[in-house]
Amino acid sequence: MALTHAATPSTLRLLRFDRVQRAAHWANAALFGVLMATAIPLYFGTLFGIVLQRHVIEMIHLWCGVALPVPIIVSLLGPWGHQMRHDLRRVNYWTRDEIRWLLSMGKTPLQADKFNPGQKLNTIFIGASIVVLLATGSMLQWFRFFPVPWRTGATFVHDVFAWVVFVVVGGHIVMALTHRDSLKSIFTGWISVTWARAHATHWFKEKSTESDTARSE
Ligand code: HEM
């Protein structure tokens, strides 16, 4: 593992997101943004023609939807995806303390990992919603291949997930805007050691051990 500490005049910092992760995050965010913006006229059916015709909006929505898994898949495959795969394993690994912390809404003590349980849950939901929206959206588009009850079910599930996506993405944006250090790290990749020690203690200790090991090698 590469030593990721880099000294600046006044502070030490850690690499939180590499380039591949940042690119995947922003490509995914852009696709979600377009999908959510086009979903509004598709759902309410009243805003067509104001900016674009219905067919154009449908096509933008459809093809952004089909492209949705691409940034995640590309960022996970190949040698460039090492950090992404490593972080995905972190998101899937839950300790008893993390579950307790989540159930108590953050009131029980926790030495958080690189991502806290709320961030892990957000990532899992976004991943699941990509799969569900892609499957149900494909059924809405290529409906001839599916029986009527499946199509009705697909419309219902697509709509329910769409509503939850609006709530979760809205919450994610509020959290990002109110946690400036975290927000900066998804632009630059770096986070201060002071932040890591306070908010991701377990990860900080892990990185410290790594650099100690690297120094002694
Ligand atoms: C952020 C993700 C997404 C959101 C918020 C979203 C939301 C919506 C909403 C609200 C509708 C209108 C449903 C209705 O009229 O009851 C819709 C329609 C549709 N969505 Fe999505 N969707 C998303 C992702 C996807 C994906 C991944 C696909 C992939 C194929 C897709 C394909 C479609 C299709 C084909 C329609 C029907 C358009 C029409 O002809 O009216 N959507 N979506």
Residue whose CA is at the smallest distance from ligand 1 atom 21: 137
Ligand 1 centre and the CA of 51: distance in Å?
18
Q: Which strand ranges, in their side-by-side order, compose the sheet holding 12-15?
A: 6-7, 12-15, 190-192
Residue owning tokens 């953050």: 106
CATH fold for the domain made of 17-179: Fumarate Reductase Cytochrome B subunit (1.20.950)
Sequence ranges of the domains in the chain: 1-15+189-217, 17-179
Which amino acid type is present at position 40? I
Tens place of pLDDT per residue across the chain (217 aa): 344 445 443 468 999 999 999 999 999 999 999 999 999 999 988 766 677 788 999 999 999 999 999 999 999 999 999 999 999 999 999 999 999 999 999 999 999 999 999 999 999 999 999 999 999 999 999 999 999 999 999 999 999 999 999 999 999 999 999 999 999 999 999 999 999 999 999 999 998 887 654 443 3
The CB of 39 under 6 Å from ligand 1? The reply is yes
Token readout for 87 is: 């972080």
Ligand 1 centre and the CA of 129: distance in Å?
12
